[in-house]
Amino acid sequence: MSAAPLVARDVSFSLRSDVDIVAARRGVRDWAREIGLTVLELTKIVTAASELARNAVVHAGGGVMRLEEVRQADRHGLRVIFNDEGAGIPDVELAMKDGYSSGGGMGIGLPGAKRLVSEFSLSSTPMKGTCVTIVRWKA
C-alpha cells in the first residue's frame, strides 16, 4: 500500500452561484496548466470539476471546493474535493448509472465525471451532505 499523497499547496472556493463555478473552474484550469498537464488531461479535470461544482450549487444549494496540488512517489497531480451540506444522494448506485439525471439536466453526470479522472470517490449521507473527491495524475 502506498503512502497518502502529500499536499504541495491548496486553496478553497465557495460554491454558491454560477460566478463561483466559473472561478472554481478557472482555478482548476490554471493549476492544471501550471503543473504541466497535457491539454487532454487539463480538459478532462476541468470538465469533471465543472460538473461537480455545478452539482453542488444546483442540487445542494452550494458547498465548498478544495483544490490541492498533490505528489505521491513519482506522481504529480491535482486533487479536487467537493463538500456540501445538502440533502445527500438517496441512491448513490442509481446516481452512478449512465443516463441518470435527478434534475433533467444534460450534464455529464457523476459517471461521466468519474470516467474523466484518474481516481474518484463519493460518499453521501441523507440530510447531511455529499463529498466527492477526484484526482487527475499527470501522465
pLDDT (tens digit, 9 = 90+) per residue, 19-40? 999 999 999 999 999 999 999 9
Give every CB contact of residue 69 below 8 A, 6+ residues apart in sequence: 7, 8, 9, 10, 31, 35, 76, 77, 78
| pLDDT attached to residue 2 | 72
Between CA 41 and CA 125 the distance in angstroms is 31
For the record, the C-alpha cell of 7 comes out as: 499536499
Domain boundaries defined on the chain? 6-137
Model confidence at 105, pLDDT cuts 50, 70, 90, reads low
By the 8 A CB rule, do 66 and 14 touch?
no
pLDDT in tens, 65-91: 999 999 999 999 999 999 999 999 988
Span 6-137: which CATH code? Answer: 3.30.565.10
pLDDT on residue 98: 82
